[in-house]
Amino acid sequence: MAIDRVGSIEPIQPGKKPEQTGQVKGSPNIDSISISSEAQAKAELLRIHELVAAAPDLRAEKVAELKIKINDPSYIDDKVVTATADNLIDTLFS
């Protein structure tokens, strides 16, 4: 049985030159992202939550001052009660 050669025995054969293509027309590729309004709202809530978590729970000096005032029988009078009620009404209905 005899095997005939089919092609050249050179390992690198001359290839064809690739055809030139035209320039791509249109706008240049610019990377961009789009953030939905829902994602923006959640990011804002997360930021607020982190601010609240970082804030101290109570102001010890203010609590001590109020304890002293409340234990003083002369502190709570009609003037203080009226001012407190006015502040509550203003806060609730403003």
How far is it, in rounded angstroms, from Cα 21 to Cα 85?
82
Question: For residue 72, how far is the Cα from the chain centroid?
Answer: 48
Most confident of 32-41, 55-64, 66-75: 32-41
**Which H or E element spans position 73?**
none
State pLDDT tens for residues 74-84: 887 888 889 99
pTM value is 0.33
| Segments making up each domain of the chain, as ranges | 58-94
Residue 7 has pLDDT above 80, yes or no: no
8 A C-beta contact, residue 75 and residue 69:
yes
Structure tokens at 32: 């961009």
What pLDDT does residue 61 have? 87
Q: Which of 85, 66, 64 is nearest to 75 (CA)?
A: 66
What pLDDT does residue 27 have? 65
What average pLDDT does the segment 2-11 reach?
64
Backbone φ and ψ of 32, nearest 5°: -155, 160
Q: What is the mean pLDDT of the chain?
A: 82
8 A C-beta contact, residue 70 and residue 76:
yes
What average pLDDT does the segment 41-70 reach?
89
